[in-house]
Amino acid sequence: MFDILVPCATGIEAVVKRQLVQLGYPELPAVNGRIRIPQCDWEDVAMLNIFLRSGERVLINVARFPSETFDELYDGVYSADWHNYLDDSSVINVVAKTVRSKLFAHHSVQGVAKKAIVTKLRDVLHRTVEENGSVTVVEIDITDNVAEVNIDTSGAGLHKRGYRTLAYSAPLKETTAAALIDLSYWRGDKIFTDLFCGSGTLPIECCIKALNIAPGVNRDFDYLHWKCFPLQLHERCIERARDGVKHRDLQVYGSDIDGKAIETARFHARRAGVEKYITFTTADATTFYDNRGYGVNISNPPYGQRLGDLKQVEEIACAMGRVYRKLDNWNFYFLTPFEKFERCFGRRADKKRPLFNAGIKCSYLSFNGAPPPKNRTPKN
């Protein structure tokens, strides 16, 4: 048994908490951007890596102790049961982070921690560590002079679902896209559009959610290469994931003014196995209209980070306001760093959430439309 830590991007902690509850975990607080799940085992490692939509990675917490000196650091790291996770062939990559602490030289922290791990393994296994096998990343995080020692089970971050292989400028992280969808009113029943779809992340994540596809079902994880990991547990979770897929009719649309983006998005949708659920078209968002009733649009329009692009960002925000005013029953959501977006759009957002995307401070703005009428049972 061990504790698992799930780091979350700033602003989406509540979404990850809800996703954990949906996976059967209790409601747990996020502290310093991490959710700690106590009393986990290897099955939880597989479950969380395969099923969690918006967490950043899955870490096993192996030790936590005060660490103001290198002696304390060495003893604390040595005290962990490393032989439960590593063997004499493990390639051990130690990565250090320090915040407001007396020990701040990353290189020295990494060196001391690695020495403690290798010595402990030699003392317990009675063999020297050869480091000619699979890689294990050990994270030493010292914040306010308290060290937390974690093993990264994921490898590549959980946003790397594996379907997005072509390069595209300014794509959303898949984990962030999944969070934006969770924060919206879209539940699979209404029309979904992303009028600035770029490489297709939002429409693809929409389908992945609506069809109950486990986001990590087709990718590799570091834990799969460790001798200590019982592979049958992973296979069981994969089987559960495959059995859980629910095919259904969806109305999901992605469009972009750039034809190359649409080609890229189609390619990614094919790789994700959801191409037949999405209609991609090359179109200018500012001319959008739809008369089919209720819909949801979620987009991250251009950010205008470069000089001269700001005019375009402003024009797009104004044009989107005009588009929205013709669609009474639609909810529009925008992730944007542009502070004057609401002013240009011509309306104050119904909800404004601070969120970081690729290190840029953004707001997730919701502009709500009229809700569909509630089904009333007629009186006799």
Ligand X SMILES: C[S@@+](CC[C@H](N)C(=O)[O-])C[C@H]1O[C@@H](n2cnc3c(N)ncnc32)[C@H](O)[C@@H]1O
CB 116 within 8 A of CB 74: yes
Answer for which of 65, 74, 78, 168 binds ligand X (CB under 6 A) is 168
Task: In whole angstroms, give the CA distance from residue 302 to residue 285.
Answer: 12
Helix axes 201-210, 259-272, angle to 10 degrees: 30
Nearer to ligand X, 150 or 297 (CB): 297
CB of 301 to ligand X, least distance (A): 6
Measured from the CB atom, the residue of 168 and 267 that comes closer to ligand X is 168
The residue from 257, 310, 318, 344 that contacts ligand X (CB under 6 A) is 257
Among 209, 256, 336, 341, binds ligand X (CB under 6 A): 256
Which residue from 196, 229, 341, 367 is in contact with ligand X, where contact means CB under 6 A? 196
Question: 212 burial class (0-12, 13-18, 19+ CB within 10 angstroms)?
Answer: middle
Instruction: Give CA–CA dist 344/8, Å, rounded.
Output: 31
Phi/psi zone of residue 100: left (φ > 0), alpha (ψ -120 to 50 degrees), beta? left
Q: How far is the CB of 173 from ligand X (least distance, A)?
A: 8
Q: Minimal distance in Å, beta carbon 204 to ligand X?
A: 9
Q: How far is the CB of 199 from ligand X (least distance, A)?
A: 4
**Is residue 313 within the footprint of ligand X (CB under 6 A)?**
no
Alpha-carbon distance 174 to 271, whole Å?
A: 14
Interface map 318-337 toward ligand X (x if CB under 6 A): --------------------
Q: Does 241 bind ligand X (CB under 6 A)?
A: no
Output the CA angle 94-141-48, nearest 5 degrees.
85
Distance CA 180, CA 172 (A): 10
Q: Find the binder of ligand X among 105, 124, 170, 231 (CB under 6 A).
A: 170
Letter for the amino acid at 167?
A
| Per-residue CA distances from 81 to 41, 66, 152, 362 (Å) | 15, 18, 15, 42
Q: Which of 300, 331, 336, 363 binds ligand X (CB under 6 A)?
A: 300
Binding-site string for ligand X from residue 118 to residue 157, where x marks contact by CB under 6 A and - marks none: ----------------------------------------
The amino acid occupying position 118 is V
The DSSP string of 117-155 is: HHHHHHHHHSS-----S-EEEEEEEEETTEEEEEEESSS
What residue is closest to ligand X based on CB?
A: 198
Out of 50, 121, 285, 365, the only residue in the binding site for ligand X (CB under 6 A) is 285
Establish if 199 lies at the interface with ligand X (CB under 6 A).
Answer: yes
Q: Is 261 in the site for ligand X (CB under 6 A)?
A: yes
How far is residue 279's CA from residue 261's CA, in Å, rounded to a whole number? 14
Q: How many residues bind ligand X (CB under 6 A)?
A: 22
Smallest distance from the beta carbon of 206 to ligand X, in angstroms? 12
With CB under 6 A as the contact rule, the residue among 286, 314, 337, 356 that binds ligand X is 286
Least Å from the CB of residue 258 to ligand X = 4
* Nearest by Cα to 268 from 177, 155, 182: 177
Could you say whether residue 16 binds ligand X (CB under 6 A)? no
Least distance to ligand X from the beta carbon of 264, Å? Answer: 8
Structure tokens at 196: 């600035």
Query: Which span sits near ligand X by CB under 6 A: 153-161, 168-176, 214-222, 244-252?
Result: 168-176
> Where on the chain is the footprint of ligand X (CB under 6 A)?
168, 170-172, 195-199, 201-202, 256-258, 261, 284-286, 300-302, 316
